[in-house]
Chain A
């Protein structure tokens, strides 16, 4: 049963990949594969950071609003002061939102659901107020290289995702910070008793999520060369879904970067398959939701029977 839990998603992922490759000639084309990578890189960046929040026992509903904030702030600064300052401003905006979430959760003791739902609503509202909820253009077209360009075989957005994923995988699995994220999610009382600064670790987790949302927002800006108040709507739920499908538990303490990346691309493949088979786009949330419930259901069931044996 442990095997099913650990490698179930790998098996499903590979099976899906093989079925699609065999049955759908259009799937195998380089253009389509690149398309899948391109479409899932942005959500992948957010999901990698979200993995930290979920393993620590929380989550962040403000990542969509954070990406939109970074897009709007970044685009405005790019138009007025140039691309480097725009990128820096977008990252600072994301960091500020992350620190605010972290402060509310770690120091004020606000529940992560309430804290990040609140900041998400406020931030999205402020963006709509300041932009009248309409996209604005004028970002240098050269910046679309970030969102649409390609270097070698891979889209540039995918290269950025790759760097983010490898860095965060290293941070989560090899460094003391990642270790403490697992400790806090596993037993927060024990972590505090053993001298871990629980609050500071949580603050760092939400700051990290905020910055990653900003990176996603910068790429989205690069896809359209515009500031997008509506950018990344519902990305928070897509990211959380990918992390959970990848084997993390909302209770905290469980999950991993490899699982999250598989989760992102499993959902991405399903959506691509539905597209290629010509299924209406309205079916896509049905498929995503079914996968989420199945993944968690199988996991919970296998867990329960393990306990029943003892």
Chain B
């Protein structure tokens, strides 16, 4: 059970995590959604976040992406404490979130969605003329770095499969110099083949050195994909495990609280 020697691809021993939460608490009225929760998300790794419904997973990622503010605790990015007041600020600092709704405009072509809100322009500045050609070419390059099955770059995203749409949303998140990519159930709506394709895309992000955090309900997927998993139960962080040295039984036990569980080995300081 010694996990100290286990390192994810790209991880250099002792390097500080890209994104970390320290002793974060969040209450909604009288309900404690998160109670003294800490988590590390390191570059070049896929970090998993699991737990039953209502365990606080969504609250935690919304705090990490600055959709919500924490009542207590701190968030650190590259070792420095940060206090974002909006998702736009977090995004500008390099924390991208892919939500389940994907935030795609189905009527618009693939390239337009990749560049949505950050369009490339040409010509006189005052006219704001779109550089469609460059967005199509560079958008295609962005997608091809991630995904083997390329959707046509000019197709409206409503005509694409769920997996292709997911890949576009992930490609968009991986652009723009982002460091951390947070994904909420990235394959929840997909069939088995599409799930595999999207998992490949996510594994590609790890190989390119991103710090990836995914919420997943699917333990098989967690074991296929994730390097290190953190378990929330009823608003508390029960612990974390390197999956190379854990078992589904252990994780399930942690999620449900079925058996006594050792405190996390990863060290939550």
Contact = CB atoms under 8 A, between A and B. Distances in A.
B31 interface: no
B119 A190 contact: no
Contact of B130 (A174, A186, A195, A254): A174
Contact of B101 (A186, A189, A195, A196): A189
Contacts of B118: 194-195
Given A174-B130, A175-B127, A175-B130, A195 B103 contact: no
Interface stretch (B104-112, B193-201, B253-261): B104-112
Nearest to B172: A194
Interface residues of A, number: 19
Given A191-B116, A196-B116, A176 B121 contact: yes
Interface stretch (A107-115, A156-164, A177-185): A177-185
A177 B126 CA distance: 12
A195 B112 CA distance: 14
B219 interface: no
B107 A254 contact: yes
A132 to B, nearest CB: 45
Given A183-B105, A195-B88, A253-B107, A190 B116 contact: yes
Given A183-B108, A186-B106, A176 B116 contact: no
B107 to A, nearest CB: 4
B164 to A, nearest CB: 14
A121 interface: no
B121 A182 contact: no
B107 A190 contact: no
A179 B117 contact: no
Interface in B119-156: 119, 121, 127-130
Contacts of B112: 179, 182-183
For chain B, which range describes its interface: under 10, 10 to 19, 20 to 34, or 35 or more residues?
A: 20 to 34
Contacts of B103: 187, 189-190, 193-194
B244 to A, nearest CB: 36
Contacts of A185: 107
Interface string A191-206: 1011110000000000
Contacts of B128: 175-177
Q: Which of B101, B102, B108, B118 has the most CB of A within 10 A?
A: B108
A253 B105 contact: yes
Contacts of B121: 176
Contacts of A175: 127-130
8 A-B pairs with least C-beta separation: A194-B117, A186-B105, A186-B107, A253-B107, A190-B103, A195-B117, A176-B128, A187-B105
Interface of B: 87-88, 91, 99, 101-108, 112, 116-119, 121, 127-130
Given A182-B112, A190-B104, A191-B105, 11 more contacts: A174-B129, A176-B128, A176-B130, A179-B119, A187-B103, A193-B99, A193-B103, A194-B103, A195-B117, A196-B116, A253-B108
26 contacts: A175-B128, A176-B121, A176-B128, A179-B119, A182-B107, A183-B105, A183-B108, A183-B112, A183-B116, A186-B106, A187-B104, A187-B105, A189-B101, A189-B103, A190-B103, A190-B116, A193-B87, A193-B99, A193-B103, A194-B103, A194-B117, A194-B118, A195-B117, A196-B117, A253-B108, A254-B107
